[in-house]
Structure 1
Amino acid sequence: MPDSVALPEMKLSDNDVQAIDDLRDLYGRLRTELGRVIVGQEETIERLSICLFARGHALLMGVPGLAKTLLVSKLAETMSLKFSRIQFTPDLMPMDITGTDILQDSEHGRREFQFVHGPVFANMVLADEINRAPPKTQAAMLEAMQEHKVTAVGKTFPLEEPFLVLATQNPVEQEGTYPLPEAQLDRFMFLIELDYPSEAEEVKIARTTTGDALPELEHLVHAAEIIAHQNLVRRVPVPDHIYTYSARLVRQTRPAGDSAPEWLKPLVAWGAGPRAVQNLILAAKARAALMGSYMVRLEDIQEVAAPVLTHRVITTFAAQAEGISAKEIVRRLIEETSTDE
């Protein structure tokens, strides 16, 4: 056990130290297994894994053909999780997601209403092109994401743990879409932006996907083990100066606050809320555990800051006119924020 773990205020038990080692090894096997069918996307795999073990949700942004759906379905396959895909369309209704009562013949020969579960009742839900559905249907996901339960036809139904929502958006097509409101964006721990593969990766993709059928992946972990790892992540120690740095970084995104730098104020209309600080800490805890670290380090916070903050920073028209994105603003804040303890 490293000396840093032995600090009295943040000491891990021997069992937790061993569990972190096991989680690091599991993560290594997971990347290797997904590498059999997914070319590149190492950063995306890392961020999806962080969301899973931190009990967060992710919004994936990328043009068609970047294997978003394949990656999510194969991730569920390696983890022996129940996977469902919801293809969002303009005519999709809330009950198409949550489920509804239907009239069926009972065992006693009478006709009774029985609730039929919708596709949201799964461990890993892919909300494909979530911005194609109208706001009322998008909102059907809010309670499930925040409370891990569904209310339908006057009854509340708990969702089976672990529960993870991975939504996708196509940044190219905007006609006939309904942008997610800020309140719903805030429910996603990460915004994961997927870019085009390199030339070598694209050649490998062509070879892999134009031959025989893709291989079936090995089941590496079950639901109960994932829940145990999620509980472990919560126990990863965080030094006081990391909490201070995280709060300072988030507060600087708010243009009306005293902490915001002068250059940011004309560029940002609305900054990140307290949920961003919570997600920064939880994501950093998950990343530290996946990397085999026994406490959160500054580099963990800095690595997860961009996907946590980018979708929570709303730029002004002036910033958009100058071509300055929220991602660039967050990157500059990370570079400039003081790391003094």
Structure 2
Amino acid sequence: MTKLRRWGVTLLSSTLLITPFAAYKAFEIRSAMAMVESFPEHSETVTAATSKTVEHQPRLTVMGEVVMPEYLHLTNELSGKVSQIDVEPGQQVQQGQRLFQLDISEELARQRSATAKLKHTKLKLNRIQALKKTQAASQSQQDELIAELEIAEAELDLLQSTIDKKTIKAPFAGTLGLFQLELGSYLNANSQITTLVGSQPWTWIEFELPQFYPKLTQGDEILVSAQYPNAPILTAKVVASDTVINTNTRTQRYRSRIENNRGLTHNQAVKVVAPNGTSLSLQQVPLEAIQRDGYGSFVYLLDHPQGEPDATRAQRQPVTLYRQFEQYALVSQGLNGGEQVAADGAFKLYPGVLVNVALPSPQPEASSQLSQHQE
């Protein structure tokens, strides 16, 4: 009995000692919970952008070349020694201007002889015609002199033709290429002397497209740029296409006309961006808005949940990414246009999180970059 009493006293004493501590601890826990509940809900700050519908023209980038409508290799038709050089390399010349002269001293001497012979034949013919009127000369004598006159005129024409062939003139206005030619140099027939490029402002751009791409039609516009940094983008229109497919490359050749060549050079390689099929209606969003995980691409829509009109929360929206560029992305499925999506800082979000929206993120114009990418 005494033993039970001792245990009862011990239990009562322990209870009296523990109860105040337990009550104090419970008070601390309730105070901490109340303090936590008084804190604001966790939120993330992002910029927002509105998805917009754009018309996107798929394009194909290929290499093309500049073809000047007036371009030729200047050659000499006859052989001879260079007696005169009237131009300098790179000089602009006019149509019909003499460029080079081969030695024609022999032809000039023969021309003087033929001219004298022609003059003498005309005098003889005049005398015979006067004598014939008095029956002092026969018809055969007159016919013979007429034939000699025609032969003399033909000899003069032949000599003049030879002189013209040894006088190299510009067939059209343009700019000469480089050449290495000295007085006294001997040129064989059909030697290539230099090049001549016409001075007209427009030019052709020729390029080839694989046969399995949609064909271009006359009037279709293409974009052309040279192969150096910050080269201007020029617009050309298709004017013709080849009637056959190249059996080696299975490509079809096109010719386009560009009205202002902007210093393009014959045979220069250029980048050609050609339309590839019909245009597509897509949704444009900033590139930062596109997020990825194991399930694919998605964006975070910024919505006002029902019952929380003043709150903005993130909602995961799967999308099908059509193509991305340096500053924006094009979406083919998942957006309809006009949705507010998270842009800068979207990587911090998760479904349902409270969002603070900063100033909207401006979007670049799609047309400024579409032309520079291959589909």
The normalised TM-score by structure 2 is: 0.21
Higher helix share: 1
Q: Which has the higher contact order (CA 8 A, sep 6+)?
A: 2
